[in-house]
Amino acid sequence: AIAFTRMGGYADITTKDDTPASVHRILEEAVAERVTMSSDSNGSMPRWDSKREHIVGMGVGKMTNLYRAVRRMVVEENIPLETALPFITSNVAKALDMYPKKGSVQSGGDADLVLLDQDLNISGVIARGRPMMLDGELLDVLSTEGKAGGGYCTSIPDYEVPFIFANFNGTQHDVEVVTHEAGHAFAAWMNRDRVPMASVWPSLEACEVHSMSMEFFAWKWAEGFFGADTRKFYYSHLSDALTFIPYGTMVDHFQHRVFEEPDLTPAQRHAVWKELLGIYMPWMRLDGDIPFYADGEGWQRQHHIYDRPFYYIDYCLAQTVALQFWARIQKDPQAAWENYMAYTKQGGSAVFTDLLKNAGLDNPFGDKCLKEVCAAARKWLEEYDLEGLA
């Protein structure tokens, strides 16, 4: 391959763990401008024995391989960034006869850019020359007079972009909402070219995995939102996520009761809600000073009961999976992200349980999954240093 580059050909390297260290030889012996790197993303990847004589198994090429290879070249092998980048940018574009429209930052180019911070962590993406969500005015999140309530993400297929709608009120919830909806937006962007269009989005519980999990992946940047209150946010966010599961289950149970007994009076429905509160959320005061809640009328504020019946059990399933991601992030953030990408890139190509299986995730319908994620979250909360959080 090295000799071939000297003859004017291109040689491509499939990135793997030892790729960064091998670049020194490429720079010394090959024509570096004729060398490209690829990830073989989602392609079969053989695993060899220690002598590289026999295949001992098969793996799958990861989408993160290119980024990780470049980062390791710079951080571990002390190769200048300007030397490492052409292997995955300009060299590739030239080999495919797409330069300078691709692979360069100059007037007339496509300007598909990945932005890195000073530690070479990915901090942003510019697609087709603009930060898609901000400059494209695809975020409508500030509260204004006369604006509809709620928050959601949708797609605009003709423009191949997502759109996020919300109503910020200056609370912690603003951050949770925007990171939640960003999970939906990311999934929509990842699958924007999927055909048929109906397979862009999976079923509702599968969609909510994208969003509820993204809330936890965004913890890495929480300090930028909360500053000195970041630790308080971590505790509040995880405890709310954990206690949401019994609340969401209660909403579903309540709907079963009122649909099974359509002749219940308003007062009787309130009584059912209050009864279920005592079962699912026994830590809640049922004799408070606010009649709306004390009298069991709180179900009225849950608009899903009216316009999205039985949606809340989907949230519960998704939250269980999201807590899996939270637990994996605590152990290995990069591996957790790779699981998330493996799940998200499937779009709506499979049913919920198969999407989970394909991404190496546990099925929340089993007893083991819910028990384990709740135990991990409870342990973390019980051991959390609460000093200074009052």
pLDDT tens, 3-47?
999 999 999 998 877 788 889 999 999 999 999 999 887 677 788
Q: What is the DSSP string of 84-105?
A: HGGGTTHHHHHHTT-TTTSS--
Q: Which of 255, 235, 382 is nearest to 316 (CA)?
A: 255
Per-residue pLDDT, averaged over 276-295, amounts to 90
Instruction: Judge residue 50's burial from the number of C-beta atoms within 10 Å of its C-beta, 0-12 exposed, 13-18 middle, 19 or more buried.
Output: exposed
Q: Which neighbouring-strand residues pair with 11? A: 35
Please give the C-alpha separations between residue 363 and each of 240, 247, 336, in angstroms, as whole numbers.
Answer: 22, 20, 16
| CA pair distance 148, 156, nearest whole angstrom | 19
Check residue 128 and give its pLDDT: 65
Q: 175-233 pLDDT, tens per residue?
A: 999 999 999 999 998 898 888 888 999 999 999 999 999 999 999 999 999 999 999 99
Residue 129 pLDDT grade (very low, low, confident, very high; cuts 50, 70, 90): low
Q: Are 167 and 151 in contact (CB under 8 A)?
A: yes
Q: Are 350 and 203 in contact (CB under 8 A)?
A: no
- Reply yes or no on whether the pLDDT at 79 is more than 90: yes
Q: Are 208 and 315 in contact (CB under 8 A)?
A: yes
Query: Rounded to an integer, what is the distance from CA 20 to the centroid of its chain?
Result: 28
Q: Which helix (H) or strand (E) holds 373?
A: helix 367-382
